[in-house]
Structure 1
Amino acid sequence: MLVRLFGLLSILLCTEAFASVHMLSERDKQLHFSVSSAIGYTATWVLDDPYESALLCTSVGVAKETMDHFDYGRFDLADMAFNVAGCGAGILMGELLPPGAVFGYDKDMGWGFSFSRHF
């Protein structure tokens, strides 16, 4: 239940961040969301604990934004919102998708899911 609540709050946070994002930085926000989703999904699969996965995933996002603060002089809260939303989405996918489910992004086809079963 708490995992679903985290995912819902992440989506709401991301929606709020979408409202304040300028079109010039849209690609950057997509990357933050995508990479964080992948980290959240992988962490859920490896750690098998949504709470540890959330901690790990958001820690990576905080570390990235902290590096940006020292490199570019700015800790971007909108980027962090997309990081957290991506973590939530990835963790939800890790918890809700059946074993053998794989998701990914192809530049020609976009986002997709595939399911494989080995007998």
Structure 2
Amino acid sequence: MADFAKERNWDQFHSPRNLLLAMVGEVGELSEIFQWKGEVPKGLPDWKEDEKVHLGEELSDVLLYLVRLSDICGIDLGKAALRKVELNAIKYRASKNYSTNDDSTAEMCG
């Protein structure tokens, strides 16, 4: 991502704030895909192939901005993610039953 941006002289635009706002915009575009579909089953069995391709493109946009943002901020995203999983394992013990009526379910992903 850094090489891609450098080759296009985009570094001048890639401040943490600008990257975050661009990523939020992409999350909005991702949200639009699901906006009027109601609950969607895993695997998207009823979706057309072009809808899945579009979804993949929007997911990729979010991921790429996230990777670029973490790089610009000097954060090792892989290491940070592993640390977060470890912290969540402590906070949300596997031995606890998280039912849909549990108030803590909304924050489970941390």
- TM-score range (shorter-chain normalised) is 0.3 to 0.5
Q: TM-score, normalised by structure 2?
A: 0.38
Between Structure 1 and Structure 2, the one with more strand by share is 1
Between Structure 1 and Structure 2, the one with more helix by share is 1
- Which of the two has higher C-alpha Rg? 2
